Amino acid sequence: MSSALFPQHVIARKRDGRSLTRDEIAAFVRGATDGSWADYQLSAMLMTIFLRGMDTPETAALTEAMMRSGFVADLSNVAPPRADKHSTGGVGDKVSLHLAPMVAACGVAVPMISGRGLGHTGGTLDKLESIPGFCVNLTFAEYRTQLEKIRLALIGQTAELAPADKKLYALRDVTGTVESIPLICASILAKKLAEGTQVLVGDVKFGRGAFMKDKAKARELAQTLVSVANAMGTPMRAVLTAMDEPLGRAVGNALEVAESIDCLKGRGPADTMEVTFALGEQMLLLSKVAATKEEARRKLEASVASGAALQKFRELVAAQGGDVRVIDDPTRLPQARLKAAVAAPRAGFVEDVDAMGVALAALRLGAGRAKAEDKIDHAVGIGALVKIGERVENGAALCVIHASNEEALAEAKRMLTKAVVLGETSVATPMLIDEIVG
């Protein structure tokens, strides 16, 4: 190793405000992957990056090195175009489940590798696993073959995918360095670009229920993601979307799968479909299967109206070992033992539904994980949730709680009564799509 690549020298150069070279960044990522840098050196490096930042070439070099720390899928067997989307995550965000088959039904292959997510509610994989038998742990060989056959796969991260991110994310989590735009960007893109997509669309959420609370910060992340993906040769756009109230009317794993199936049957909630179409349009445009937003929208709508998207979802569930009967009969999804409505204490207009309050109630019910090793209860959550702007009568249901025990039900009821605020006058439905970056 050249002395310039000793950990202490690389750390000191960043500490002093210099831009790092590709070799220096590669040495840092190698150090994280093979253990040749000690945890204290990796942590010091993460903190200097957090404090000093990184420019686009440095962030691209970091992303590339992290991506190449593991397996990079070769999908040359899957005919182009191939597109994927990534969401920074939000409460009730089940969009991937129905968007992926809609886009696949429009002729674009969707290779989607998702994380499990340590959120208040489960991630995409947890939602899919509420379908009895559905297997998210495919090998890369199985993933490639399935993509070739049905042009759609939704699987979990394997240990070979960007292992440097696993090490660095664990250190960031305990060193106060998670909220760094270059580190977040490299972490997201290293995994997404290793899965073999040709173009990428990001859903970067901001607001109370989002990872990024602040809109300006979310925009900065969106711009960084787009610049870095483009610099690495993967066309990308990002849609900035609000996450102050939950997306749709269901929060919880099986309940969200049922809502996604409704979306595929043309009965999806308006807000969920608005975000779905905004992301799908960009996926079709970047994939060049539509020339305008309007054409892309028409194709996506037709995929639902014709039943082609629902059929793609059926193929996906069958290919990954799930019980396809849940599609026609969602009562076959896991059902909670207890169901109870939260009654409106008076008549009025829904002024607010606090996404974080709903998320914490879902977590209390067992729909998410407080710690990585926690087990999820797929059946529990919140359904039939009112939306901001709706009128409710005295005693009408604000939502229905699905619980596995009385204590959790009582506590969730208290939390949800606080999360839903009623007012005297009608309020406008909040704007969801803020901006398209890229």
* Binding region for ligand URA (CB under 6 A): 115, 169, 184, 187-188
**Active-site entry in 82, 94, 127, 191:** 191
Written as six digits, the tokens of 226 are: 């787009």
Whole-angstrom distance, CA of residue 346 vs CA of residue 273 = 30
Which residue, 156 or 322, is less far from ligand URA as judged by CB? Answer: 156
- The distance of closest approach from Cβ of residue 180 to ligand URA in the complex, given in angstroms and rounded to an integer, is 8
**Active-site entry in 93, 165, 244, 377:** 165
To the query of whether residue 298 is one of the catalytic residues in this protein, the response is: no
Which residue, 45 or 309, is less far from ligand URA as judged by CB? Answer: 45
Chain mean position to CA 360: 18
Written as six digits, the tokens of 109 are: 């292959």
Answer for the pair 278, 204: CB distance below 8 angstroms, yes or no.
no
To the query of whether residue 9 is one of the catalytic residues in this protein, the response is: no
Which residue, judged by CB position, is nearest to ligand URA in the bound state? 187
Which residue, 123 or 348, is less far from ligand URA as judged by CB? Answer: 123
Which residue, 169 or 349, is less far from ligand URA as judged by CB? Answer: 169
To the query of whether residue 187 is one of the catalytic residues in this protein, the response is: yes
List the one residue out of 200, 294, 226, 280 whose CA is nearest residue 437. 226
- The distance of closest approach from Cβ of residue 49 to ligand URA in the complex, given in angstroms and rounded to an integer, is 12
Whole-angstrom distance, CA of residue 232 vs CA of residue 67 = 11
**Active-site entry in 14, 144, 151, 172:** 172
| Share in percent of the chain as helix, strand, coil (round to 5) | 45, 15, 35
Whole-angstrom distance, CA of residue 302 vs CA of residue 321 = 27
- The distance of closest approach from Cβ of residue 86 to ligand URA in the complex, given in angstroms and rounded to an integer, is 8
Which residue, 84 or 262, is less far from ligand URA as judged by CB? Answer: 84
To the query of whether residue 191 is one of the catalytic residues in this protein, the response is: yes
- The distance of closest approach from Cβ of residue 184 to ligand URA in the complex, given in angstroms and rounded to an integer, is 4
- The distance of closest approach from Cβ of residue 169 to ligand URA in the complex, given in angstroms and rounded to an integer, is 6
Other residues' Cβ atoms within 10 Å of the Cβ of residue 278: 20
Written as six digits, the tokens of 134 are: 């559905």
- The helix-helix angle for 95-105 and 308-319 (nearest 10°) equals 110
How many Cα atoms are found within 13 Å in the side-chain-facing hemisphere of 192? Answer: 28
Which residue, 165 or 262, is less far from ligand URA as judged by CB? Answer: 165
- The distance of closest approach from Cβ of residue 114 to ligand URA in the complex, given in angstroms and rounded to an integer, is 10
Please give the angle made by the CA atoms of 115, 141 and 119, to the nearest 5 degrees. 5
The 8-class DSSP code of residue 40 comes to H
To the query of whether residue 165 is one of the catalytic residues in this protein, the response is: yes
Which residues have a catalytic role annotated? 86, 165, 172, 187, 191
